[in-house]
Amino acid sequence: MSTIKQVAELAGVSIGTVSHVITGSVPVSKRLRTKVQAAILELNYYPNHVARSLKTSKTRTLGIVVPDLTIPFFPRVIRGAEEAALQRRYSLVAVNSDDNAGRERELLSLLRSQRVEGILLVVAAGAAPIGEGHEMRDSGVSLVYLDRIPDGLQGDSVSVDSFAAADMGTSHLISMGHRSIAIVTGSLSLRNEQERLQGYQQALRRAGIKLQDKLIWEGNFRPEDVAGICRARLARERERPTALFSTNGPTGLGVLRALRDCHLRTPEDIGFVTFDELTIDDLFTPSVTAVVQPAYRGPTIADGTVDQHPRPFGHILYIFKTLWLHAAPPLSESPRSSPASNLLGALMCSL
């Protein structure tokens, strides 16, 4: 097994120069870097990261915890985080909490024991990890909350403007002439789901439409469960709303399954707008109208986990984009206008 000393001798440089090339901690000239890289390849040398971490207290490793890897949104988030980590010469370890608060606590403890330097966390539905968050910061592990921002917690976070997005999606249905619009949500224990409900309610109030509790259909993030909830309500034809707004991708898939089971077509029989782009929307003609949040966020979302300097907590707020694809046709001849079309694809950061 080759050693760093052998690499240095073959490349004709010092051991320190080899270390600088491997870690990227100190700039090295292109000529010397090329010689070191050639020696590493020739000797098939692999750095001992465990030994280095014991010496430097740095593992150059980040962790990301997501609630469900089978939801297409989260693999895209992981890809963006991994790209950001690689640009900073960090590795990324991704784990799945199964949307279970107990499992999430176990994973946070595991990542901490593996000496990761920072964690990106999409919290599980249910109790927020208040104690764990404080412990992470006290132990020097950076923690950034993604997408689902827990209530009552102070910390760095990255999310989309859920309130404005739901307002826009609901307003689009209203502009199509719909007055009876049901909202299908995930768990309302999560702040982002609460904000989407509030955005929906604001759009209705602004249009002078009475709020009705019976049109708030709370579900979860399992499409099969959401489909069952929607089937039961859609089966009552006299009480059936004319349009549906779903607040996340899994819920949107559940709605579509329920529409299929009830032999209802969208847009012909019922209007439909969903938050989050559906991975199967290209199978529909016309395509599903969606309010889309950026999942592949690039370098931004990992920066907070590698910033070790004391500073106030920050929040990065992403503005959504919309795909107006005519899956919610007008009930009348009202104009097809978007209440916030100038926000398409825009990005806003506030720190």
pLDDT tens digits for range 8-30: 999 999 999 998 888 777 889 99
Strands 61-66 vs 181-185: parallel, antiparallel or unpaired: unpaired
Q: Give yes or no: residues 40 and 62 share one domain.
A: no
Lowest-pLDDT choice from 125-129, 241-245, 247-251, 302-306: 302-306
Residue finishing a domain among 142, 159, 176:
159
Q: Give yes or no: residues 103 and 41 share one domain.
A: no
Tokens describing residue 117? 């330097």
Selected residue with higher pLDDT from 4 and 304: 4
Mean pLDDT of 274-284: 68
Q: What is the dihedral of CA 8, 10, 11, 15, to 10 degrees?
A: 0
Q: Which pLDDT belongs to residue 351?
A: 23
Q: Is the pLDDT of residue 136 over 70?
A: yes
Q: Which pLDDT belongs to residue 142?
A: 84
Distance of CA 42 to the CA centre of its chain: 41
Domain of 274 in residue numbering reads as 162-294+314-343
The answer to whether the Cα torsion of 183, 184, 189, 190 is positive or negative is negative
Selected residue with higher pLDDT from 215 and 328: 215
Q: Which pLDDT belongs to residue 109?
A: 87
Q: Give yes or no: residues 318 and 190 share one domain.
A: yes
Q: Give yes or no: residues 322 and 199 share one domain.
A: yes
Which DSSP string do the residues of 264-326 spell out, in sequence order? --TTTTSEEEEES--TTGGGSSSPPEEEE-----TTHHHHHHH--S-----EEEEPPEEE--S
CATH number at residue 77: 3.40.50.2300
Coil, helix or strand at residue 216:
strand
Regarding pTM above 0.75, the answer is no
pLDDT tens-place string over residues 43-92: 988 776 555 554 556 778 899 999 999 888 889 889 988 888 888 888 89
Mean pLDDT of 180-184: 98
Q: Give yes or no: residues 241 and 278 share one domain.
A: yes
Residue finishing a domain among 97, 127, 159:
159
Which residues lie closer than 8 Å to 242 by C-beta, 6 or more apart? 178, 179, 180, 181, 270, 271, 331
What is the tally of structural domains in the chain? 3
Q: Which pLDDT belongs to residue 115?
A: 84
Selected residue with higher pLDDT from 124 and 126: 124
Q: Which pLDDT belongs to residue 125?
A: 79
DSSP letter (8 states) at residue 93: E
Q: What element of type H or E holds 64?
A: strand 61-66
Residue 247 CA to residue 257 CA, distance in Å, equals: 16
Q: Is the pLDDT of residue 310 over 50?
A: no
Selected residue with higher pLDDT from 336 and 247: 247
- Binned at pLDDT 50, 70 and 90, residue 254 comes out as very high
Q: Is the pLDDT of residue 231 over 70?
A: yes
Q: Give yes or no: residues 203 and 339 share one domain.
A: yes
Q: Give yes or no: residues 182 and 146 share one domain.
A: no
Q: Is the pLDDT of residue 212 over 90?
A: yes
Residue 19 CA to residue 17 CA, distance in Å, equals: 5
Q: Which pLDDT belongs to residue 53?
A: 52
How crowded is residue 180: how many other Cβ atoms within 10 Å of its Cβ? Answer: 14
Residue 346 CA to residue 336 CA, distance in Å, equals: 21
Residue finishing a domain among 131, 159, 187:
159
Closest CA to 160 of 339, 320, 349: 320
**Average pLDDT of the chain to the nearest whole number:** 79
> What share of the chain has pLDDT > 70, as a percent?
74
- Binned at pLDDT 50, 70 and 90, residue 166 comes out as very high
Q: Is residue 278 part of a domain?
A: yes
Coil, helix or strand at residue 46:
coil
